[in-house]
Amino acid sequence: MHTHFFRLFSGISFLLLNAMSAIPGFAQPVAGGGAFTFEPVQCVTEKQSLAIREDLVASMKWLKTKGVIGDINMLSEVKFEWPVRLSSQSKDPSLYGISNFVDNDFTFPNKLKDYNCGTRTYDQASGYNHRGIDIFSWPFQQIRQEQGIVQVVAAADGVVIQKIDGNPDKSCAFCPGACSWNAVYVRHADGSVAWYGHLKSGSLTSKQVGNSVVTGEYLGVMGSSGNSTGPHLHFEVWTDDNLTKLVDPFGGPCNALNGNTSWWKNQRPYRRSAINKIMTGSAPPVFPACPGLETPNEKNVFAFGDPLCVTNFYQDQLSGHQAKMELIQPNGVVWNTWFHNSPNTYSSSYWYWNPWFLPNVAGYWKYRLTYVVTGQTVTHTFYHGNTPPVVTLKPGNWNDPSVWSDGLVPDINKALFVCHPVTLSEDRFIQSLVVNEGGQVIVENGKKLQVTNMVLEKMHQRVLD
């Protein structure tokens, strides 16, 4: 699928590029960022693809003899919903984008044509023309894979006709000997079959071959198993029980397979410009080489004088698209506004401004980003002040904002200050612990903290063994 590298813009040219209405004599933050780019590698070899199709045809024949699946019913023509969702743990607007479509030019190499007559696809000298849609996770794809936040779901009702699990899922290149992916295959009532490939090992649905799934049902976590260079979903569709005819779900002028007929209930635009995430941090995010875990440097509690970095993450940011950024004081008054015009078109990109030094105004500040051309606005709240916010919690789930007195779900690895001795959780996920006055609660990656049967005033009495 893809390796990634970053084109970094130097601060100075960036500053020249973008007008900032900063406070006179105020230290200008250095800006940086750019593209998060993917170089395609063959998702499935021709040999693998043939073997998969033979296996699926045999499985469908067997399921027919068992009466589990019936003959093709063209009256129930399938229309897909989007096959990716975010787990309830995520608070971000979006965490993915599209890197490659089906290649509708069947010649090769480098003869590329996507359904929209563009070149957002790939082929190989081996004769492989990309047969699916590649939906990647962005940003922090390695962390998200660990956390299981970007999930693959059934695009339509159907029957599981095959599932493969247990293969390594941290691929970063085309594997010598072409390693196998983890995948789920679903057959629909109209005889079409959908492939969900590169899944995270051990994350697959417990549904077995022959079981039914419904639209939107969980199938697994986006991973990087098989020939892949980063967490992404390869979504491939064939029309008939013998898997002889490939489908490009995106209908359009250059779709050589099914023309303008879209297989989506609501086909997404070719370019869907959107904010995936914004964040505050102690420094710009760091993206190591695959499969290294990213270092977001995310931070939401700042003391006076602490440097503040703000970062925006996008999908399909187009050249010239303008973004408006604002830092807003606790009283609602905008402290600073600046603009950024995208210097290029990207499937995935990010931009940061670092460091800002805020005036000594204590309280909950806001960082707000507006994607001017679409009007999408995302706001992030963070605390600034020498006395960190006193946070208390009530019975409930860590991810439920109402548990927290300030209504903010703390992020992973964030320090919190709890004003009372707290006896936390009999939950088998976490060892119970006691947090003393002024103590800290630190939550590790992938762990879940649950607070049960506790009301504030009772906390003092409960001391853990």
Which range touches Zn ion (CB under 5 A), out of 37-45, 61-69, 386-394, 433-441? 37-45
Minimum CB separation of residue 276 from Zn ion in Å reads 20
Minimum CB separation of residue 100 from Zn ion in Å reads 6
Which range touches Zn ion (CB under 5 A), out of 12-20, 131-139, 222-230, 271-279? 131-139
Quick one: which H or E segment has residue 49? helix 46-65
Residue nearer to Zn ion on the CB measure, 132 or 158: 132
Which range touches Zn ion (CB under 5 A), out of 226-234, 277-285, 296-304, 363-371? 226-234
Residue 114 is a binding residue for Zn ion (CB under 5 A): no
Residue nearer to Zn ion on the CB measure, 184 or 449: 184
Task: Compose the 92-111 pattern: x for residues touching Zn ion by CB under 5 A, - for all others.
Answer: --------------------
Quick one: which H or E segment has residue 4? strand 4-6
Closest by CA position to 304, among listed 262, 379, 357, 364 = 357
Which range touches Zn ion (CB under 5 A), out of 13-21, 57-65, 228-236, 286-294? 228-236
Residue nearer to Zn ion on the CB measure, 61 or 268: 268
Which range touches Zn ion (CB under 5 A), out of 28-36, 233-241, 311-319, 354-362? 233-241
Contact indicator for 61, 68 with CB cutoff of 8 Å: no
Instruction: Give backbone dihedrals phi and psi of 84, rounded to 5 degrees, phi first.
Output: -135, 140
Residue 134 is a binding residue for Zn ion (CB under 5 A): yes
Total residues at interface with Zn ion (CB under 5 A): 4
Minimum CB separation of residue 378 from Zn ion in Å reads 29
Tell me the C-alpha distance between 132 and 247, whole Å: 9
Tell me the C-alpha distance between 183 and 272, whole Å: 27
Q: Where are the beta strands (DSSP E) in 271-415?
A: 274-281, 301-302, 308-317, 322-328, 334-341, 346-356, 363-371, 376-384, 390-391, 396-397
Counts for the chain of helices (H) and strands (E), in that order: 3, 28
- Contacting residue, 33, 132, 284, 343, with Zn ion by CB under 5 A: 132
Residue nearer to Zn ion on the CB measure, 203 or 227: 227
Minimum CB separation of residue 95 from Zn ion in Å reads 18
Minimum CB separation of residue 226 from Zn ion in Å reads 10
Q: How many CB atoms lie within 10 A of CB 34?
A: 17
Which range touches Zn ion (CB under 5 A), out of 3-11, 29-37, 121-129, 234-242? 234-242
Residue 234 is a binding residue for Zn ion (CB under 5 A): yes
Which range touches Zn ion (CB under 5 A), out of 35-43, 267-275, 310-318, 418-426? 35-43
Residue nearer to Zn ion on the CB measure, 270 or 357: 270
Which range touches Zn ion (CB under 5 A), out of 41-49, 85-93, 119-127, 290-298? 41-49
Tell me the C-alpha distance between 166 and 252, whole Å: 37
Residue nearer to Zn ion on the CB measure, 129 or 425: 129
Contact indicator for 91, 381 with CB cutoff of 8 Å: no
Q: Which two tokens stand for residue 104?
A: 């509708």
Quick one: which H or E segment has residue 434? strand 433-435
- Contacting residue, 35, 41, 43, 323, with Zn ion by CB under 5 A: 43
Residue nearer to Zn ion on the CB measure, 92 or 134: 134
Minimum CB separation of residue 234 from Zn ion in Å reads 4
What does the DSSP assignment read for 303-342?
A: -TT--EEEEEEEEEEPTT-EEEEEEE-TTS-EEEEEEEE-
Residue 449 is a binding residue for Zn ion (CB under 5 A): no
Handedness of CA 340, 350, 276, 281 (dihedral sign): negative
Minimum CB separation of residue 235 from Zn ion in Å reads 8
SS3 state at 27: coil
Tell me the C-alpha distance between 152 and 222, whole Å: 6
Residue nearer to Zn ion on the CB measure, 38 or 314: 38
Closest by CA position to 179, among listed 189, 188, 170, 187 = 170
Residue 112 is a binding residue for Zn ion (CB under 5 A): no
Distance of CA 9 to the CA centre of its chain: 24
Contact indicator for 458, 425 with CB cutoff of 8 Å: no
Contact indicator for 127, 24 with CB cutoff of 8 Å: no
Interface residues with Zn ion (CB under 5 A) are 43, 132, 134, 234
